[in-house]
Structures are given as structure tokens and as C-alpha cells.
Amino acid sequence: MIHPTITLITERIKARSQVIRANFEDKTAYQAEQGKGRASLSCGNLAHAVAASCRQEKQQILDFTRANLAIVSSYNDMLSAHQLYKNYPDQIKSALQSLGHTAQIAGCVPAMCDGVTQGQPGMDMSLFSRDLIAQSTAFSLSHNVFDATLLLGICDKIAPGQLMGALSYAHLPTAFIPAGPMPTGITNDKKVAVRQQYVAGEVGKDALLEMECQAYHSGGTCTFYGTANTNQLVFEAMGLMLPGSAFVAPNTELRSALTEHASLALAAMTADSANYRPLVDVFTAENLVNGVVALLASGGSTNHTIHMLAIARAGGLVLTWDDISELSDIVPLLAKIYPNGPADINAFEQAGGVPALMKALHERGLLNSNVKTVFGEFADQLTQPAITDSKLVWQPVGESSNAEVIAANGQAFNQTGGTKVLKGNLGQAVIKVSAVKQEHQFIEAPAKVFRCQHDVEAAYQAGEFTGDCVIVVSHNGPAANGMPELHKLMPILGNIQKAGHQVALVTDGRLSGASGKIPAAIHVSPEALRGGTIGMIKDGDIVKLDCSTGLLEVAVDFDQRQPVQLDTEASQITWGRDIFKVMRENVGGADEGASFLF
């Protein structure tokens, strides 16, 4: 039996999305009706599209009975998660060639890393890269010579952006091809400990760098449960990749077999086949809700409270923070992966991975099971891939094999999900409580107000945090400076907490998916630059944050205060940020997906 709240929220999303979904479906149907893209091109158009292909490939692409797949890749050779994609196009092309089909690298999208840009100017452009990637994906597909789309993308803004772009070509069958996580390095707890020692002056930079290089050491996604791995888990739960494929280790026989299988399966479901399965049939309100449920049950990244709204909008659906919050009230926390616990994503995979989590959720009636996936039906999502007798097979997934990482049958780590919405006289904000200890889930303390994360660091070094406080970092919203992640503050706030003080963060900026132990009301909307009251808080104002009641309140009558006039553009003229002004001016609020596209 499906939980009534799942049905209620799914139906609610459909009802409020009626008009834009109808427009989305009409647009997609129109594109489908035009037939094979290649057939509508002139001879000159076609000649350009195959000019660089070898003779055999050229003939196959010009033979419209064969499938030609678009590869939209985020490969670059400096980002660990994306570096693995180097040989994927060749592997995909040679698998397809065995059946006379082809693939072309339709385009490469930019891919930036929040680990590299944390605390740096580049971070101010990070969130905007998602929408730019959506546009780049649409550019890649715009040559219109393709029958299906393979998305090679993993990390934080890249995979959401690719999906948003692919949704503008939702008449094509579309799938993600994941590449897998890096092997486990030193533990995340050790990583955090050394960082806290460094900011407290107890170890030097050499020790810090050595530790960081042991944590980040080879190809693959980072092993904590940050935004990249949340993308993978959520998109598998939404049926957008092969079941059980998200976290299979790189460079294994199984990983290669999955990539080849996905390519061949997609080539067999193009518009001219009886198995035609366009993205529009898979990207539904039902699958969207399944993705949000999986996000909550796994304690996933807070960035997804922004990305899921923007992705939904790209597919003609309106998802709200209230939907997420109400789902959070009925979805238990069933996985404990760092920062929610000590285990990493490899331990999660060994415990049964996404299929085991889906099985546990399904048994509780928390998933819509009347859905199609890219490659099959809902039941397939409860199976795991394996190589048996040199063949790729899927077997029914068992119970969790490690109850410390995926809760044992009928058990839960927490009765409610990881993410809540806070409301009060600052508007609304998001908080992730899955890693916040119970005793830190309520705080009432004086504000210490900053406009920039580096000023918090300076105040900490000057010994200014000597008691309970709520650190407010305003003017860090999407319109102000692109809404950077403020994850570098975590070791500092961790040390203030360790010193025995109550501490919380309140900001209109973001945090990394890897943040979690400090109570943090983030994505405060409306943001300060657009008149949000967060910009009017003064040092000493009493801020109350109560996770149990969902309250974020400042004991102030804001009607008596004037907004602070701050020239945020002055900080945006260097390191390329000046050419992103058009995005800052046009971006929507975080509670609408922080997009400049819609």
C-alpha cells in the first residue's frame, strides 16, 4: 500500500503544474512528430554533420535505419570524477558498432569542482554553471542528428544541468552513464579532525596538505555523501540510469559491461522502434517524488533542495520546499553515509547500494511504483547487477548487509528524513538535521553578523567567539554573488562547538553537501540583496532556531529597520565574475531553484 502522503504530494505537484506540464508535453510531442532529426536536414546540413566521420561511420549515420546516439560529456582531465570519462566515447562507439549503430560526441559541457573552488572567487560562478551546462547540453543536441542521448556527467552542477538541458529534447530516449566513486582513502572523521587542528593552530600546512591528498587521491567521485554522490543516488532512484549502476567501482569488468549495456539498450528504444521510450515518459511527477524520497531517506545534499526545483521546472513540474518538508516528515532516515555517519559511499554500495535503499522504501510504501524507468519498469530498480559466467545479469537485491550503513529490515536511523524547511520572520530557509546531534537542534543566542565568510575566519583568528552565538552571513544569495558554498566555515564552527558553546549558521548562501554537524539555516529566502530581512539583522539580535518546530525567528520588529545598502557588485569584478552579471540580475530565488532560465 502506498503511503497517502506520497500520493497526496504527487497529485498536488501534478495539479499545480498542469499548465506548464501541458506546455512541456506539447513541445516535446511537436518535436517527436517532426520525425528523425536527420531526415529534416538538408544535404548540406548532413554533410557538415558527418564531414569528420570515417567512411563506414558516415554511411551508417546517413543510413537512417541505424541509431546515432549523442554523447554529451563533461570530461576533463583534472576533475577526478570526470577524468574517468576519457575513454567512454570509444568504448560506447565500439559497443554500438557491433550492431551497426553510431555515436558522436555531440558536445562537451563545462565542469567545475566545488572542492577546488571552496572559499575561492571561482565559487561565485559555481551555481550559475548548472544553467550554463543546461544551455550547453541543448547546444550539443541542437545539431538534431541524434536518436537518443547519453549523459556523461556526475558532479554537483554538471549532472543536474545536463538533465535540465536534455529535458528540452525530451522526445529522445535519454540516460545517465555513471563512472563510479574513487577507492576509500583516509576516513572522513580523520579528515575533519586534522582540519580542526589546523584552524586551531595545532598542526601546520604540510600536515594538512598531506592529509588532504590522502583523502583525495585518484579518479572517481569523492567518497563522502556530498552533492555529486547525491546526484547519482537520486537519478538512479528516478530511473534515469541502469539499476544498481550508480556506485559500481571504476575500472572493473562490471562497470564496463554496464556502460556497454546502457548504450546498446538506448539504441534499441529509438522513435522508430516498438520499444520507444522518450525521456518525457520517464520524467514524471511520480519519478520526481521518488527522487525526493530517496534524497531524504539517504540524508542527501542540501544543494538538491535547489537543484530538484530547477530540474522539475525544466520538465514542466513545480516542486516546492513545502513538498520536500512534508515528505521529510514521513520518510525515515535509512542510510548513514558521511557526513551523517562515519561510512563512505563505497561502504553504502557494499551494504546493498541504491537497490537496497529502494527496496526498504518500497516495503514501507514510500515510492510510486506505477512508473517507467529509462530501461524498464519499477521492479527492475530492486535488482542489482553482477557478472555471472561472463554475462551481465540483474539479481533481486537482498536486505542491507551492513545495518550500520543501511538500516536493517524495519529499522531506521531516524523517524524523519534529513531535510527540513524553517520559517519565521526571515522568510524561509533549509536545514539538514540528519547529522546534527539532538542537543544542537535548538539554539537561542545573539547574532554575530558578517557579509563575507573570510571576515568570519578573521574574527575567529582574533579570538572573537567566546560564547554562544548565531553566525549570520548575509548578502551571499544568488543575486548578490552567485550563492557560494560556505563550507570552509565548518572547521571553525566545529571548534566553537567543541569549546562548549552553542553555535549555528544562518545565511542566504549555500553549504557543501559534505557539511552537516553544525545546525545551519541556509538558502534563506528572500536573500538580503533582494530586500530579505536577513540583511537587517544586527550584532546582538537574539536569533532562535528550533528544528523540532521548524522555526527561524529573530526577536526584532523588522518594520522598524532599513535594508543595508551594500554594493555587492564591487566584489564581482575580478576572476571572470564580471561577465556573470547578467545571471546575477536575472536569477530567481533559492526557493524557486536559483535559476536564470525560468
- Find out whether 164 and 130 touch, Cβ atoms under 8 Å: yes
How far apart CA 453 and CA 435 sit, in angstroms, is 22
Closest CA to 180 of 335, 295, 387, 346: 346
Neighbours of 575 (CB within 10 A): 12
Neighbours of 192 (CB within 10 A): 17
How far apart CA 143 and CA 37 sit, in angstroms, is 8
**Segment 145 to 174, residues that bind ligand ELE, using CB under 6 A:** 156
Instruction: Quote the cell numbers at residue 579.
Output: 561577465
Q: Which is nearer to ligand ELE, 134 or 489 (CB)?
A: 489
Per DSSP, 294 falls in state H
| Binding test (CB under 6 A) with ligand ELE, winner from 168, 263, 301, 346 | 301
| Binding test (CB under 6 A) with ligand ELE, winner from 37, 115, 484, 532 | 115
Q: Which is nearer to ligand ELE, 67 or 345 (CB)?
A: 345
How far apart CA 419 and CA 301 sit, in angstroms, is 9
Q: How far is the CB of 184 from ligand ELE (least distance, A)?
A: 14
What residue has cell string 570526470? 82
Q: Which is nearer to ligand ELE, 194 or 292 (CB)?
A: 194
Q: How far is the CB of 359 from ligand ELE (least distance, A)?
A: 26
Q: How far is the CB of 108 from ligand ELE (least distance, A)?
A: 21
**Segment 225 to 244, residues that bind ligand ELE, using CB under 6 A:** 226-228
> Residue with the closest Cβ to ligand ELE?
226
How far apart CA 324 and CA 441 sit, in angstroms, is 19
Those residues with Cβ within 8 angstroms of residue 389's Cβ, 6 or more apart along the chain or in another chain: none
Instruction: Tell whether residue 434 is a contact of ligand ELE (CB under 6 A).
Output: no
x/- track of binding to ligand ELE for residues 484-523 (CB under 6 A) = -x-x------------------------xxx---------
End-to-end Cα separation, the chain, in angstroms:
36
- Find out whether 69 and 103 touch, Cβ atoms under 8 Å: yes
Q: How far is the CB of 162 from ligand ELE (least distance, A)?
A: 17
- Find out whether 282 and 275 touch, Cβ atoms under 8 Å: no
Q: Which is nearer to ligand ELE, 68 or 515 (CB)?
A: 515
Q: How far is the CB of 416 from ligand ELE (least distance, A)?
A: 22
Question: What's the distance, CA 170 to chain centroid?
Answer: 20
Closest CA to 189 of 207, 216, 213, 215: 215
Q: Which is nearer to ligand ELE, 12 or 82 (CB)?
A: 82
Q: How far is the CB of 223 from ligand ELE (least distance, A)?
A: 10
Q: Where does this chain touch ligand ELE (CB under 6 A) — which range of 224-232, 244-252, 374-382, 421-429?
A: 224-232
Q: Which is nearer to ligand ELE, 290 or 301 (CB)?
A: 301
Q: How far is the CB of 478 from ligand ELE (least distance, A)?
A: 16
Q: Which is nearer to ligand ELE, 419 or 512 (CB)?
A: 512
Q: Which is nearer to ligand ELE, 212 or 468 (CB)?
A: 212
Q: Which is nearer to ligand ELE, 295 or 449 (CB)?
A: 295
- What amino acid is encoded at 536 in this protein? M
Number of residues that bind ligand ELE (CB under 6 A): 16
What residue has cell string 549555528? 504
User: Beta partners for 503?
Assistant: 469
Question: What's the distance, CA 2 to chain centroid?
Answer: 26
Q: Which is nearer to ligand ELE, 208 or 392 (CB)?
A: 208
What residue has cell string 556497454? 260
| Binding test (CB under 6 A) with ligand ELE, winner from 73, 118, 137, 383 | 118
Instruction: Quote the cell numbers at residue 182.
Output: 574513487
Instruction: Quote the cell numbers at residue 556.
Output: 526584532
Instruction: Tell whether residue 222 is a contact of ligand ELE (CB under 6 A).
Output: yes
Q: How far is the CB of 188 from ligand ELE (least distance, A)?
A: 7
Q: Which parts of this chain interact with ligand ELE (CB under 6 A)?
A: 114-115, 118, 156, 222, 224, 226-228, 301, 303, 485, 487, 512-514
